[in-house]
Homo-oligomer: A and B are copies of this chain.
Amino acid sequence: MNAIIITIGDELLIGQTIDTNSAWMGQHLNEMGVWVKERIAVSDDANQIIATLNTTIPRADLILLTGGLGPTKDDLTKNVLCEYFGGNLVRNDQVFKHVQEFFTRRGLPMLERNAEQAFVPDNCEVLFNEQGTAPGMLWKIDGKIIASLPGVPFEMKHLMQRFILPLISDLADTSVLHQTIITAGIGESFLAEKIIDWENKLPANCKLAYLPSLGMVKLRLTVRGKKSESLQEVLSTQMEALKTLVAAHLFADSDELPEITLGKLLLQTNSKICLAESCTGGYIASKLVSIAGSSAYFSGGIVCYSYEAKQSLLQVNKSILDNEGAVSESCVKAMCEGVLQKFDAKYAIAVSGIAGPDGGTIDKPVGTVWIAVGTKESIVAKKFIFTKDRWKNIELTYINALMLLKPFIN
């Protein structure tokens, strides 16, 4: 099965928006064994959309369009597709009710142009969009599938996961299984050296992918075969061997966000965490809070972005700040102790560093970060020298702080 992705919108062509949608779609389709042979970005222009449909439909089994489904004048996709496939727009009651509720909930009047979002071609399957007001549309024509999805990333992902990916899974005669584990604190090439013998002996239907990202390397093992084969067994056996080889660097044995892994551990041990953040300025807290239910294990935190705040809110001794500075082992340890006094929590993380781009010295260059983790009984601190880039330093501090705390939790 192969696919072509068509993204619609002038903002993509003039470079105002970077197209992350088709990367996400490409990745997920590929994981299911669908080969994306081409991606095309076109303008909000009826003739161009039609010309692109004419040249792509004969060449692929699956055509996925995103964008151009909003309520404004420049959104043409629905009308163009409706006419192209010879349908008429009719009101869909489920969508109409949903759009109405959307506005009622916000206490806003529903305008004519919003109501129009509930009009859909009468010859397509409507992909009900819980996350927004524009439904997706799906046509099955001469063995081809053509689907149109909203361009807003979370709405597109929602409809892909709910409708398109399950449909592909039903159609395929082969199946593909994946498992991803997360390693941290070791570079891609060093990891490769550790597992080279195992990797070379992998059966022909298994494939390992290295997915490096900042501070982490994910390893994705893929097994492909007929639906009838016992692929799960092959995957499990190989995974166990891999996990043993990388045990010292294993952060999680599934592809989940680090803050989810940490949250699960805290829930399992019925314990809570609090934070004292300087250079990350609330970033670690916001990561923890992004997970639903985190109030069960996150007590709170203090963002102490100045010397004064470190002293008054966390009782860091003035002499530490004067003699060793805010980016020092003594300071993060004191911050860690201080924040454990303020919150009802067993564990704490404290971070202080020079995120950059300014503020570095010869002794403490930009990227220098001290991280302390622990409990009232025991605190450890570690120094890192990351990069010259502010954003990367904040992200790396967050990942490494979680990695450092993890063995403490029991």
A binding-site residues for B, Cβ under 8 Å: 10-20, 22-28, 30, 35-43, 48, 52, 55, 70-74, 105-108, 111, 113-114, 131, 152, 154, 178, 180, 187-190, 192-193, 199, 209-213, 220, 255, 275, 277, 279-286, 288-290, 292-295, 298-306, 308-309, 312-313, 342-344, 355-359, 367, 385, 389-392, 394
- How many copies of this chain does one complex carry? 2
Can you offer 12 A-B residue contacts whose CB atoms are under 8 A? A14-B26, A22-B41, A39-B39, A70-B212, A71-B188, A105-B367, A277-B282, A289-B305, A292-B390, A299-B306, A301-B305, A302-B313
Additional A-B contacts beyond A15-B30, A16-B255 (7; CB < 8 A)? A111-B189, A113-B189, A152-B212, A279-B289, A285-B286, A286-B394, A308-B344
> Contacts A282-B282, A300-B304, A303-B300: A290 and B11 contacting too (C-beta < 8 A)?
no
Q: Is B12 within 8 A of A26, CB to CB?
A: yes
> Contacts A40-B38, A289-B281: A385 and B300 contacting too (C-beta < 8 A)?
no
- Tell me the minimal C-beta distance from A114 to chain B in angstroms: 5
Q: Is A282 within 8 A of B286, CB to CB?
A: yes
Q: Is B302 within 8 A of A306, CB to CB?
A: no
Q: Is A74 within 8 A of B210, CB to CB?
A: yes
> Contacts A38-B40, A289-B282, A309-B299: A220 and B16 contacting too (C-beta < 8 A)?
yes
Which residue of chain B lies nearest to A25 when distances are taken between CB atoms in the complex? B15
A10 to B207, CA, bound (A): 11
Q: Which residues of B sit under 8 angstroms from A391, Cβ to Cβ?
A: 154, 290
Most buried by B among A38, A178, A199: A38
- Tell me the minimal C-beta distance from A232 to chain B in angstroms: 18
Q: Which residues of B sit under 8 angstroms from A19, Cβ to Cβ?
A: 18-19, 22-23
Q: Is B342 within 8 A of A312, CB to CB?
A: yes
Which residue of chain B lies nearest to A200 when distances are taken between CB atoms in the complex? B73
Q: Which residues of B sit under 8 angstroms from A22, Cβ to Cβ?
A: 15, 19, 41
Q: Is B40 within 8 A of A13, CB to CB?
A: no
Q: Which residues of B sit under 8 angstroms from A289, Cβ to Cβ?
A: 279-283, 303, 305, 355, 394
Q: Which residues of B sit under 8 angstroms from A42, Cβ to Cβ?
A: 37-38
Q: Is A288 within 8 A of B281, CB to CB?
A: yes
Q: Is B303 within 8 A of A302, CB to CB?
A: yes
A131 to B388, CA, bound (A): 9
Q: Is B394 within 8 A of A209, CB to CB?
A: no
Q: Is A302 within 8 A of B305, CB to CB?
A: no
Q: Which residues of B sit under 8 angstroms from A255, Cβ to Cβ?
A: 16
Q: Is A189 within 8 A of B37, CB to CB?
A: no
A355 to B298, CA, bound (A): 15
Q: Is A192 within 8 A of B25, CB to CB?
A: no
> Contacts A14-B36, A289-B283: A301 and B303 contacting too (C-beta < 8 A)?
yes
> Contacts A286-B286, A289-B283, A343-B309: A210 and B303 contacting too (C-beta < 8 A)?
no
Q: Is B281 within 8 A of A286, CB to CB?
A: yes
Which residue of chain B lies nearest to A176 when distances are taken between CB atoms in the complex? B14
Q: Is B48 within 8 A of A27, CB to CB?
A: no
A108 to B384, CA, bound (A): 12
Q: Is A43 within 8 A of B39, CB to CB?
A: no
Q: Is A385 within 8 A of B105, CB to CB?
A: yes
- Tell me the minimal C-beta distance from A172 to chain B in angstroms: 16
- Tell me the minimal C-beta distance from A80 to chain B in angstroms: 16
Q: Which residues of B sit under 8 angstroms from A342, Cβ to Cβ?
A: 309, 312-313
Which residue of chain B lies nearest to A199 when distances are taken between CB atoms in the complex? B73
- Tell me the minimal C-beta distance from A365 to chain B in angstroms: 8
